[in-house]
Amino acid sequence: MVKEETIRQLLEEIGEDPNREGLKRTPERVAQAYDFLTRGYQEDPRTIINDALFTEENKEMVVVRDIDFYSLCEHHMLPFFGKCHVAYIPDHKIVGLSKLARVVELFSRRLQVQERMTKQIADTVEEVLEPLGVGVVMEAVHLCMQMRGVEKQNSVAVTSHMLGSFRHSPETRAEFLNLIHSSAGRGV
């Protein structure tokens, strides 16, 4: 829980008057915003998935692409945001599709680096579903690269984590990458 007094002190440190009209409620609003933006620490990803597991004899790839996410970079506490694509090949267990988006949301609502978050999502799906393979690709814009430092406005960071058949089978990996980058089905 972020304390309002901490935000008040920060405002004073940067040379602002936290008592001026426009800033009087800012410590409260910022504290609430950070509580919201970091709420992923309060949830267990395994609990999210376990509530929606089903037995199914499907061994074909399941893909949920274009999952929007917003996170905070742990190095500068500035936002980064983009799309996450999650796929798995079931081995007798499937999960409600919305639960994959909820796992992405949970890990994005923590102080993060994109590389770790990509791995955390893949590892969680693998641990709970025990599928034949898992693939996660994340594409993100980092404000710490756009607003400060190198100030590169059009840079996009892409990370991936492949497990099981997605790692060992070039065909499986290629099918996944083709599905997430094809225009077929966009805007369905």
List Cα–Cα distances, 95 to 65, 98, 113, 118, 124, in angstroms: 15, 8, 26, 19, 12
Catalytic residue, from 5, 28, 56, 74: name it: 74
Catalytic residue, from 84, 105, 112, 142: name it: 142
Catalytic residue, from 12, 28, 75, 115: name it: 75
- Residue 84 annotated as catalytic: no
Catalytic residue, from 85, 114, 120, 161: name it: 114
- Residue 114 annotated as catalytic: yes
Catalytic residue, from 4, 92, 144, 175: name it: 144
Residue 71: exposure state from Cβ atoms within 10 A (0-12, 13-18, ≥19): buried
Place of tokens 């499907």: 58
**Contact at 8 Å (CB) between 133 and 88?**
yes
CA distance 132 to 62: 11
Catalytic residue, from 43, 76, 92, 139: name it: 76
- Residue 75 annotated as catalytic: yes
Active-site residue set: 73-76, 114, 142, 144
